[in-house]
């Protein structure tokens, strides 16, 4: 039995995602299993540009950026799953349902993101994603991605 976790550092993530600072929302992948799950981290530092105005004297990490970090983590799982098959595919975010915010995220928090494949139907894959801070869920959602052939 293999107990070694598959991890990805920031260089690996930059080679997968097209996003760059200040819109790169995944700092590290701490564990994943292709076609199954992924666990990642987003560190919310006080130097994040969003904290300059959201909100002065009461900084809160915007919910839309939590959702973006969840979507980026999901895209990494898709890439690490389908590209292990040596096929040229792209993924497109096509929808989300049941998004719920449970708690605020503030500077210094580490968002722990968990992505699970729920089901696949033809070219659409549905995922369950949880984001938590200190073992408390801050956001949950289901998201759908479309897998298409690359033009390359």
Active site residues: 54
Starting at the edge strand found earlier in the chain, the sheet holding 37-43 runs: 28-33, 37-43, 110-121, 124-133, 136-149, 89-101
Q: What gap in Å lies between CA 17 and CA 1, rounded to an integer?
A: 31
Q: What gap in Å lies between CA 108 and CA 45, rounded to an integer?
A: 5
Q: What gap in Å lies between CA 125 and CA 55, rounded to an integer?
A: 36
Contact 146, 74 (CB under 8 A): no
How far is CA 75 from each of CA 38, 94, 96, 103, 131, rounded to the nearest angstrom? Answer: 10, 12, 14, 24, 15
- Taking alpha carbons only, the member of 128, 129, 123, 130 closest to residue 145 is 123
């Amino acid at each position: 039995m293999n107990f070694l976790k598959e991890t990805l550092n920031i260089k690996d993530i930059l080679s997968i995602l097209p996003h760059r600072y200040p819109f790169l929302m995944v700092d590290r992948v701490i564990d994943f299993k292709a076609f199954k799950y992924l666990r990642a981290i987003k560190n919310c530092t006080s130097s994040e540009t969003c904290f300059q105005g959201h909100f002065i004297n009461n900084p809160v990490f915007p919910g839309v950026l939590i959702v973006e970090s969840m979507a980026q983590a999901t895209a990494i799982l898709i890439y690490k799953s389908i590209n292990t098959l040596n096929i040229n595919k792209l993924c497109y975010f096509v929808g989300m349902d049941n998004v719920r915010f449970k708690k605020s995220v503030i500077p210094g928090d580490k968002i722990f993101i968990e992505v699970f494949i729920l089901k696949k139907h033809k070219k659409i894959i549905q995922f369950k994603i949880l984001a938590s801070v200190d073992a408390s869920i801050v956001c949950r959602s289901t998201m759908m991605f479309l897998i298409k052939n690359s033009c390359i």
